[in-house]
Structure 1
């Protein structure tokens, strides 16, 4: 058994200063220790996949321009590993955004545990093997911590992909929580719905909305992250700029990814281009963004009420007030409507004390012959990291 401080301080010496996850009793000492150290950062995620995507955003921002620190740790119980499979296989693996995983081994063979862990316990090692994530058991002796971290870092640096430490019961001694270190509480905001009630044919197109976004996101001070599906493909077709990244897979993970980047790079204005299907899939992240989101984060949801890239099947978005959800979750401003000029107004509005949100209803459909990006995900990530390493306004978000 080790002390929480022994591992966390050894990790800090190696640049790990960001933590995110969903609690497990095995992880309690770590979480309590990190929460009470003002130089470390812990984000309580709505689910394990959001935590993985958030740390991926931290990695993108930190490796893109910070000299010290910036490595991230994602912590979870193995029962939640299934929630993290999508971003682990289609975000961190695809874009080569490494992170250290600490996953508790509930239901470990031979160790009595609750019924819900009886299946996941035995198959946890196989899940890591299947996802091509090398793993080892969490160190339980002080002199084993450094070598374990060094092995993890060597793999992460060589491959750009995650490494896992699987924590057995009783690995870390208890650590008392005296200061919960919660995110700053924000007052609930009012949402605005300024829809004109126009027919679907009169709604703006995605192209028109993206043109407005491009006009307000200069290369030297903004980063634009585009959601899975036609949003990223159409943005690429309009103008493939070095300050843009096109998400593939990882549906719903764009916004926690953007949150990580915005916190890692407060000198940049980070714009997350979301879709209604993706937002509905991981709506819990609205609460995380409302609690932790900084002023340099802008969340734009282009809502056509359909899964456009898979055949146009309808979503339930017409029944949802996304702005109402954002306002209730603590966003600094939240507006929705069917006029593309809302995007202009959003960027013209003054900086507030948290993230801004706008949902714009758009027309269904996509231009014929829409190309797929020819730049690969690792290359678009590397290009963006190089770009933001030399970019960014000292004045912060606009």
Structure 2
């Protein structure tokens, strides 16, 4: 058994200062230590996948990060681990607790996940080792993790057994105070066929995002492809997978780089998939994060199947979750209102758009690792230590 400080301070010495996760009783000493150190950063994620995506955003800023989770939630993180962290080569250290470890007695819900945890990590090409339980083993474990991350640009996991870390008490915490503004509506009842096209909305975004001071992250599917076709800029990142994770990734970058304006271009299907991130953005989100939801009511890139988005007031959800401002409408002026606002926290806008995509829409010719490295260099993030190979 080790003390939390023995691992966290050794990790800090290697650049790990950003943590995100979902609690597990095995992780309690770790989380309590990080929460009470004002020089470290911990974000309580709504789910394990959001934690991975958020750390990926911090990595884009040139930071090292740790995603912590119980192995029962490893399944929630499969998509961002395999199609965001792996695909873009955004390395992070995973600390995964081993509930239901063979040879131990645990709750029924861990009886399957326990034995298959190592195989799940190996299937995702994530090398792993047991979390160190002796002080003199910490440095070696961290050095192996960092070596793999720097060499490959991909995650490395430490699997934590019960009793690995000694208890660390948590002082009483004051709840986060967040505003709850009234959502603003500019819905005029425009007929569906007269709604703006997504391309028009993206053109308006391009006009409002100066490359030197903004980063624009586009959700997976046609949103990123249309943005690329309109103008491929070095301050863009096109999500090619990890559906629903663009906002958490943008949050990670915005927190780590408060000097940049970070714009998350979301889609209705993606937002519905991971609505828990609204609460995380509302609690932790800084004023340099702008969240724009382009809602065409359909899964456009898979044949136009309807989503249930038209039954949801996303602006009301954002306001209730603590965004500094939230607006929705059916005209392009909504985008101007988003960029011109001056709320004390993150700002949200939902624009209704009509379905449909231009014919012959190209896919990005730049690879995800190239997009990542280009963006990091553009914003002046240190590349060599954390970016891996292109």
TM-score computed with the length of structure 1 as normaliser: 0.95
Count the aligned residue pairs: 382
Contact 1:32/1:180, CA 8 A, preserved across alignment:
no
Equivalent residue in structure 2 for 1:231, among 199, 223, 227: 223
User: C-alpha deviations, 1:150-185, integer Å up to 9, x for none?
Assistant: 000000000000000000011001111014375x31
Aligned position for 1:141: 134
Q: Structure 2: how far apart are the matches of 1:242 and 1:119?
A: 45
Contact 2:89/2:369, CA 8 A, preserved across alignment:
yes
In the alignment, does 2:159 pair up with 1:159? no
User: C-alpha deviations, 1:49-90, integer Å up to 9, x for none?
Assistant: 0000000000001x1xxxxxx210000000000000000000
Contact 2:186/2:334, CA 8 A, preserved across alignment:
no
In the alignment, does 2:353 pair up with 1:362? yes
Contact 1:191/1:323, CA 8 A, preserved across alignment:
yes
Q: Structure 1: how far apart are the matches of 2:291 and 2:129?
A: 38
Contact 1:35/1:179, CA 8 A, preserved across alignment:
no
Q: Structure 2: how far apart are the matches of 1:157 and 1:205?
A: 42
User: C-alpha deviations, 1:362-388, integer Å up to 9, x for none?
Assistant: 010000000000010000111000100
User: C-alpha deviations, 1:337-385, integer Å up to 9, x for none?
Assistant: 10011111221223x2110000000010000000000010000111000
Aligned position for 2:388: none
- Alpha carbons of structure 1 residues 390 and 105: separation in structure 2 relative to 1, 3 Å: closer
1:1-398 maps to which residues of 2 (within 5 A)? Answer: 1-61=1-61, 63=62, 70-180=63-173, 184-350=176-342, 352-389=343-380
In structure 2, list runs of 5 or more residues that go unmatched.
383-390
- Alpha carbons of structure 1 residues 54 and 390: separation in structure 2 relative to 1, 3 Å: closer
User: Hey, which bits of structure 1, 4+ residues long, moved more than 3 A?
Assistant: 179-182
In structure 1, list runs of 5 or more residues that go unmatched.
64-69, 392-398
Q: Structure 1: how far apart are the matches of 2:133 and 2:193?
A: 63
Contact 2:228/2:364, CA 8 A, preserved across alignment:
yes
Aligned position for 1:396: none
TM-score computed with the length of structure 2 as normaliser: 0.97
- Secondary structure of the 1:218 match is coil
Q: Structure 2: how far apart are the matches of 1:255 and 1:123?
A: 30
Q: Structure 2: how far apart are the matches of 1:390 and 1:145?
A: 28
Over the aligned positions, Cα root-mean-square deviation in angstroms equals 1.1
- Secondary structure of the 1:271 match is strand
